Amino acid sequence: MAIASTLGMTDPASPANDFSGRDKLKAHSVEFRKRVEKITDGVYTAVGYSASNVTLIQAQGGSIIVDTSANPVDAMAIMGAFGDLMIHPVRAIIYTHNHPDHTGGATVFAGDDKPEIYSHDLLVRIKPVTGRGRRDDGDAFGTALSDDQFINAGTQLEYGRVTPHTREGFLPPTQTFDGEEDSLAIAGVQIKLIHTPGEADENISVWLPDRNVLIAGDVLLKTFPNIAPLRGLPTRPVEEWIASLDKLIALNARFVIPGHMGTITGASEGKDALTAYRDGIKFVYEKTMEGVARGKTPDELVQEIKLPAELARHPYLQEYYGTVAWAVRGIYQQNAGWFDGNPTHIFPLTEKERAAKLVAMIGGTAKMLGSAEASLSAGEFQWAAEQADYVLALEPQNREARTVKIHALRGLGERQMNATARNYYLTVAQSLDKPEPLSK
Ligand SMILES: [Zn+2]
């Protein structure tokens, strides 16, 4: 299965002894090492000090800061790392988007300088979305995992594990623009702000034409994008995301700074990165829509739709943060609704009814548990978890079923290269492992 180890990296059915996904995720952490990158004259980016990047633009008699890190503690560390490169006063702060890891340290950079704060108008108009996907204490960022279980969070080394993302350092925008773009001159620096929705509706990219630098925001990340996140968010606007990347490709930037991780240097390298990203998203979108038109179900499409080999190999489309499978499900639901077309699924049995019938059919919970344990021993972690769930639907406190599920989730988590899936599996396993029984 040489192909599966390249393409099926996040496939839950990967062999029991295959830890290559985890090894890849560990190796990915090198992207998050702390450093200040000199992009070109007068432009520096602090990578790895916080969840997201902070870029310093030196201007006439002052500085411009793009994104502000996750909180005042991280922002202080970044100010220290920039050191003498910071020219005071800070004349302007630009938020690429509203996610707390980009906006939480503004007060530190602003100090007493009273800079203008720029963003797209949607940043003030849209209520910030936080995830709602914490059923069973699952946490895609793995904030509560112990150090030995935690690897990284996909686009950042950690998200709120050390210093929570509290927004206490947020400053509201003072200058916003509506529509496609805005051209500014701040302290002698020509700046174009370009609306590039994708991971966030309000995302803007910052283009410095004189310095040939593009600060993309989260519309480009060095991982397959999280189009339909586990943490209970709406599916991201996929067609807009593709159009945003088209706009950025056309700039032909010599330096491309993503919202997280290191800078891509060289016009052809930048173009290749943005193009692969656009093509990867577009491929999954088009194949899903074709499948919808052919009457395929989401489950069938998840099996069918794999990136072509060249895109599957691309370093910025590896499934550390999002996956093709979830993108397919998200796009399906976004465009064709929740119903998969099988009339049996119009009004299905409840989980409890189905579990009661299946457990009775096999001859009781002890038989179901015996089968689940055998699956676990055989390395069939997904099937073991599903059988444990049938028992837990009837007896939520059943200790043996919980134990099977804990081991199954750890088995799945340890074989994942996707950070958010790994973190979710392992945080739920951790919470099921608490000695006290769950009380309802
Ligand atoms: Zn981000």
pLDDT in tens, the chain (440 residues): 233 333 334 555 556 778 999 999 999 999 999 999 999 999 999 999 999 999 999 999 999 999 999 999 999 999 999 999 999 999 999 999 999 999 999 999 999 999 999 999 999 998 776 666 556 678 888 988 999 999 999 988 887 787 777 788 999 999 999 999 999 999 999 999 999 999 999 999 999 999 999 999 999 999 999 999 998 889 999 999 999 999 999 999 999 999 999 999 999 999 999 999 999 999 999 999 999 999 999 999 999 999 999 999 999 999 999 999 999 999 999 999 999 999 999 999 999 999 999 999 999 999 999 999 999 999 999 999 999 999 999 999 999 999 999 999 999 999 999 999 999 999 999 999 986 554 54
Residue 225 C-alpha to ligand 1 middle, in angstroms? 11
What is the rounded distance in angstroms from the CA atom of residue 84 to the CA atom of residue 348? 64
Residue 221 C-alpha to ligand 1 middle, in angstroms? 9
Residue 353 C-alpha to ligand 1 middle, in angstroms? 42
Task: Extract the tokens encoding 265.
Answer: 């240097």
Residue 103 C-alpha to ligand 1 middle, in angstroms? 10
Residue 89 C-alpha to ligand 1 middle, in angstroms? 26
Residue 311 burial class via C-beta count within 10 angstroms: exposed 0-12, middle 13-18, buried 19 and up? buried
CA atoms within 13 A on the CB side of 171: 25
Cα separations (Å) of 1 from 10, 13, 312, 346? 14, 12, 15, 37
Backbone dihedral angles phi then psi of residue 194, each to the nearest 5 degrees: -120, 125
Delineate the domains of the chain, giving CATH numbers in brackets. Answer: 1-32+349-440 (1.25.40.880), 33-161+173-336 (3.60.15.30)
Contact assessment for residue 109 and residue 92, using Cβ atoms and an 8 Å cutoff = no
Backbone dihedral angles phi then psi of residue 83, each to the nearest 5 degrees: 50, -125
Q: Which of 43, 54, 80, 41 is nearest to 260 (CA)?
A: 54
What is the rounded distance in angstroms from the CA atom of residue 347 to the CA atom of residue 321? 33
Residue 405 C-alpha to ligand 1 middle, in angstroms? 32
Residue 207 C-alpha to ligand 1 middle, in angstroms? 18
Cis peptide preceding 89, ω within 30 of 0: yes
238-251 and 324-336 helices cross at what angle (nearest 10)?
120
Q: What are the helix (H) ranges across 203-296?
A: 238-251, 267-293
Q: State residue 437's pLDDT score.
A: 52
Bridge-based pairing of strands 175-177 and 255-258 is unpaired
Residue 260 C-alpha to ligand 1 middle, in angstroms? 6
Residue 90 C-alpha to ligand 1 middle, in angstroms? 22
Residue 206 C-alpha to ligand 1 middle, in angstroms? 15
Q: State residue 160's pLDDT score.
A: 78
Residue 218 C-alpha to ligand 1 middle, in angstroms? 5
Residue 397 C-alpha to ligand 1 middle, in angstroms? 38
Residue 67 C-alpha to ligand 1 middle, in angstroms? 10
Residue 200 C-alpha to ligand 1 middle, in angstroms? 9
Q: For the whole model, what pTM was predicted?
A: 0.92
What is the rounded distance in angstroms from the CA atom of residue 274 to the CA atom of residue 283? 14
Tokens 């919980």 sit on residue:
402
Residue 250 C-alpha to ligand 1 middle, in angstroms? 23
Residue 75 C-alpha to ligand 1 middle, in angstroms? 15
